[in-house]
Structure 1
């Protein structure tokens, strides 16, 4: 009879008993329990941390303008060169319209009106679909059309309406250009920012004025910025976080436009996490945070096996907060202090089974 009963019971199985690259005592999994030695069990080790969000974006001038022709023009003379710094009201181009029409120049990537004519001018503006820039007052990007109030084909001088650097000149003296062709790009590279995207849900954790610490590839300096504006972009269903670069000795003359930077902004109160070795964390690629700044840019979710107070196993979702290169361990959030952590990746059917210590 005893032989018959034994034969009818489901066979026991063994879990992968390799922990941290070393073979350990086998784990026995049967119908109702999981038998393991204490070497597989980790007490919760609490550690305090400051919650933060990762931000990444491209450095760009806050004030910039891409000027294009709003109609056919003849370029009478180019008065500036690429790389030249110009003050406000400096003449940039002398142009002549080819037909009697009001529109002269369209500024398609501007924070402020950037061109003027010698004669009286009117400036109309509307939102620009292809730019996401703002001025020092964090206004929305605009499409500026400089309109000459005198219906004339006399030469017209286009002037800069803010001080900045001529990044590119796309035309030459004597050249004919058609409507929508680029003329000149002007920007103030002394006042910089970057724009990061986050899930819309992060809006409640951020506010204008929060400090942002960030770094740039290949640079040892650490830079500082401040959140200047928060905007929800419904087209991409993302939160746009505008970060104004603080002018100081570290940033002045070091940061340049088009550099990709990565930073973090703290929020909320100090929280408590748990320190866990790599082999206790499952269902996640940890490669991303094994290099500076050792924190994920976006939330990094994983699973751990937890032994609850009733000694039953459960698969617990957690968030990986940080990697400590000095210890090779990770800080996770989502485990209560009254639990134990199982340091092995058990099969899914282990959930709900009782842990037996051998």
Structure 2
């Protein structure tokens, strides 16, 4: 028992010692870890207090700008045809106005608007009662004048015989001869008056002066009309045209030149030809009037007078340059200064003066730079400029950037 008791005491003492040793190791390891962590916290605190280190990390992000692929185009050489948009209303180019030559009451209107007529066809019948009376009177006047002339001529002939026999003086013969001549002149005057009355009588039936369609009518049954009054209009539906005014620089157009155009509320495209060009420019508007002939039957449709046309007239020589969207060009003088480039004015081929612009490009090093360009032409309908000053393959930024973006690295998404 004493031996076993002694062994038990020693084992119990060893077990307690072992626990203390483990505890001491744990405490020591914890102190070591704590000591190691303190320098890192201190270092973080020092970095936070150091503005130079923090700003450097932020500046790297500010040197980049992200762009969409749709914000960039690749410059390519393209052919450019100068053109101008023209507008006008289709009208009949062959028109005839029917007028009255007499003062009369309308007895009957024989045609309606939209009706096709032939030259010489009766259009309006007038009340000719007064004209018939005037005609009868004029015919009677002619007959009376002819009878008086006949008597005067016979008297002059008899007086000539008496003069030859010595029974009549020469003075009396001359008087009879003069009277005969006067009566002949009166006959001519009465016949002229009869011709006028006959024409007026015939004019009581008004006829068409040309083939075509009745486009308008300003006369009704029972209406009293006066000489030279417009009664109706006849148009040729197979001949249409529209007129337009173009800028003075478009003088390079020629008769017969094709002009594509569209009609309001229609998706079809039609074609006309330049038929006439005014000989001079309007000094007030500086515009040149032109006329475009149009065939009414096109694309299975029938064009009619009154339709509104919008066409595209090409002029001048085809030019080669780079077409870029107008949104890519800036006229900001601040950007010019940032690039140390001074914008100057350039003259286009039509002698109109346009300001040089600036564009943003992406270099091979992916850095954004500004570059001056010269505008050759402005095409408002497509929203593009024809420019020089950049090479093919240059990446041009089409979205708006500020001068602070110059020098940044472009990241395309």
Instruction: Give me the TM-score of the superposition, normalised by structure 2.
Output: 0.49
Deviation of the 1:73 alpha carbon: 4.5
CA distance, structure 1, for counterparts of residue 64 and residue 206 of structure 2: 80
Residue ranges of structure 1 left out of the alignment (5+ in a row): 1-24, 27-34, 101-147, 284-298, 324-329
Is it true that 1:208 corresponds to 2:255 in the alignment? yes
CA distance, structure 2, for counterparts of residue 320 and residue 237 of structure 1: 20
CA distance, structure 1, for counterparts of residue 223 and residue 399 of structure 2: 72
Residues 94/47 of structure 1: CA separation in 2 closer, same or farther (3 Å cut): same
Asked if structure 2 preserves the Cα contact closer than 8 Å seen for 1:274 and 1:331, the reply is: no
CA distance, structure 1, for counterparts of residue 408 and residue 130 of structure 2: 91
Asked if structure 2 preserves the Cα contact closer than 8 Å seen for 1:82 and 1:166, the reply is: yes
Deviation of the 1:194 alpha carbon: 1.3
Count the aligned residue pairs: 250
Alignment partner, residue 308 of structure 2: 260
Is it true that 1:241 corresponds to 2:290 in the alignment? yes
Residues 44/254 of structure 1: CA separation in 2 closer, same or farther (3 Å cut): same
What SS does the corresponding residue of 1:57 show, helix, strand or coil?
Answer: strand
Q: Please show how residues 10-49 of structure 1 align to structure 2 within 5 Å.
A: 44-49=75-80
Is it true that 1:167 corresponds to 2:226 in the alignment? no
Q: Please show how residues 76-115 of structure 1 align to structure 2 within 5 Å.
A: 76-95=107-126
Is it true that 1:222 corresponds to 2:248 in the alignment? no
Choose between structure 1 and 2: higher strand proportion: 1
CA deviations 1:188-239 (Å, max 9, x no partner) are: 11221111210122122x0001112211123233212111111146365421
Alignment partner, residue 193 of structure 1: 241
CA distance, structure 2, for counterparts of residue 84 and residue 268 of structure 1: 44
Residues 50/98 of structure 1: CA separation in 2 closer, same or farther (3 Å cut): farther
Alignment partner, residue 117 of structure 1: none
CA distance, structure 1, for counterparts of residue 289 and residue 371 of structure 2: 41
Moved more, 162-171 or 234-243: 234-243
Deviation of the 1:74 alpha carbon: 3.0
CA distance, structure 2, for counterparts of residue 275 and residue 304 of structure 1: 14
Residues 154/181 of structure 1: CA separation in 2 closer, same or farther (3 Å cut): closer
RMSD: 4.4
CA distance, structure 2, for counterparts of residue 207 and residue 240 of structure 1: 13
What SS does the corresponding residue of 1:154 show, helix, strand or coil?
Answer: helix
CA distance, structure 1, for counterparts of residue 66 and residue 78 of structure 2: 23
CA distance, structure 1, for counterparts of residue 66 and residue 233 of structure 2: 68
What SS does the corresponding residue of 1:276 show, helix, strand or coil?
Answer: strand
CA distance, structure 2, for counterparts of residue 149 and residue 47 of structure 1: 77
Alignment partner, residue 128 of structure 1: none
What SS does the corresponding residue of 2:251 show, helix, strand or coil?
Answer: helix
CA distance, structure 1, for counterparts of residue 251 and residue 228 of structure 2: 37
Residues 95/281 of structure 1: CA separation in 2 closer, same or farther (3 Å cut): farther
CA deviations 1:29-83 (Å, max 9, x no partner) are: xxxxxx9979698663322333333222111111113445577543343221111
CA distance, structure 1, for counterparts of residue 123 and residue 385 of structure 2: 57
Residues 315/71 of structure 1: CA separation in 2 closer, same or farther (3 Å cut): farther
What SS does the corresponding residue of 1:171 show, helix, strand or coil?
Answer: coil
Deviation of the 1:342 alpha carbon: 6.0
CA deviations 1:225-278 (Å, max 9, x no partner) are: 111111146365421221111355526x52111001112233444333434356
Alignment partner, residue 55 of structure 1: 86
CA distance, structure 2, for counterparts of residue 249 and residue 313 of structure 1: 48
CA distance, structure 2, for counterparts of residue 75 and residue 151 of structure 1: 20
Asked if structure 1 preserves the Cα contact closer than 8 Å seen for 2:106 and 2:222, the reply is: yes
What SS does the corresponding residue of 2:327 show, helix, strand or coil?
Answer: helix
